[in-house]
Amino acid sequence: MEKREGVFSGLKILSYSWAVVGPLTMKFFADHGATVIRIETSLRPCTMRSSAPYKDNQPGLNRGGYFTYYNGNILSFAINMNHPKAHDVARRLVEWCDVFMENYTPGVMERWGLDYDSLKKIKPDIIMLRQSGYGSWGPYKNLPAFGMVLVPIAGLPNFIGWPGKEPLPVGVSAYTDCISPRFATAALIAALDHRKKTGKGQLLDLSQFETAISFILPGLLEYVASGKEPERIGNSSPNAAPHGVYPCQGDDRWCTIVVNSEKEWCDFCSEIGQPGLVSDPWFDTLENRKQHEDALNKIVVDWTVRLPPEEVMTRLQSVGVAAGVVENAKDTLNDPQLKQRNIYWKMNHSEMGEFTHLGQSFQLSKTPAKAYSPAPLLGEHTEQICTEMLGMSDEEFVSLMQEGVFE
């Protein structure tokens, strides 16, 4: 196994992961030098392995775009946890690791003898990070967690939609899968710091449901203060006008525009060639602009639709008005800012060839994140981990493999 550098070099993590939550959390540590072993099985492959899009539109467990994107720098260990001898191998992996992470439904780890109390008996200073849908206790603890369920139960769709219309789903149904890891990484770093100071590990119990709640706090505060549910307002804002996403020249091209102050309103009117709007009684104050917002938006669209979104953004930004292109996938992959900051890592995958992996969204000047290895094939590192890390003899590994432990 190659030597890894970075702030977490030498840190050893064992991850019983599923979908995006686990890998996205562990990737943060792997990209900064930690050795992360992800437990998998061919008997029930991760749903991300069998999710389109596939490279070159060819389905396969090692060709899923989602899986590959989120699993760079992570090692794959295939094991059938329902085999009696698998539990002994799992305990040896626990002896090896510093951190044990899992995001299964509560009860699974207990059935396998891998709950926190059991882990402590094997390794007293171990840190266990659990990321279930609702946490390890409470009336919802045994409910399976899916992104398309966690998003609505956290209330996010109630804030998305148009006045008087039904709530709309979040575009990416597994939105909570991308929220939870941000909290989990901070919690785990704090636990690692605590262990460094005291020599003691601990259990971190994270609820994806609770992390999502933080994204709707203004609505909760409004209800607490007034007793009223906040209304869906589409792309508008009570504090700004114009405020929206406007069509531009081209096929499905858009630009966001936000005018916050009276000065910005004056500059906006001047830039679009209609300075007379400043003194128009329909638009001369924020209150009046909000009252006649439909008419105002039509004026904005009449201007934006004749220009490419990049020009709309550039011209408005040059006069101090907030505006931004709504980038599509092609724009994002070729964005010069993202390229300059190395957010996308191209690595050679053994089955798919060159593939773009996700990097990190911040830069450490002394110990930057690095691309060590592409997303693994299912079980790619099983033999290497057994023989090099766990010290198994070739004979023992072959025997266990023949008995169906590693599959």
Band the pLDDT of 146: cuts 50, 70, 90. confident
Residue 1 has pLDDT above 70, yes or no: no
Cβ(378)–Cβ(78) below 8 Å = yes
The pTM of the full predicted model, rounded to 2 decimals, is 0.91
Residue 215 has pLDDT above 90, yes or no: no
Q: b or e along 117-130 (b: 16 or more beta carbons within 10 Å of the residue's beta carbon)? A: eebbebbeebbbbb
In the chain, residues under CATH classification 3.40.50.10540 are: 12-214+341-402
In tens, the pLDDT along 343-375 reads 999 999 999 999 988 899 888 999 999 999 999
Sheet of strand 243-247, all strands in order from the earlier edge strand to the far edge: 243-247, 254-258, 322-325
**For residues 372 and 30, what is the distance between their CA atoms, to the nearest angstrom?**
9
In tens, the pLDDT along 296-321 reads 999 999 999 999 999 999 999 999 99
Cβ-count burial of 361 within 10 angstroms (0-12 exposed, 13-18 middle, 19+ buried)?
exposed
**For residues 120 and 330, what is the distance between their CA atoms, to the nearest angstrom?**
48
Does domain 243-328 fall under CATH 3.40.190.100? My reply is no
203, HSE (Cβ side, Cα atoms, 13 Å): 11
In the chain, residues under CATH classification 3.30.1540.10 are: 243-328
In tens, the pLDDT along 13-33 reads 999 999 999 999 999 999 999
Specify the fold of 12-214+341-402: Rossmann fold (3.40.50)
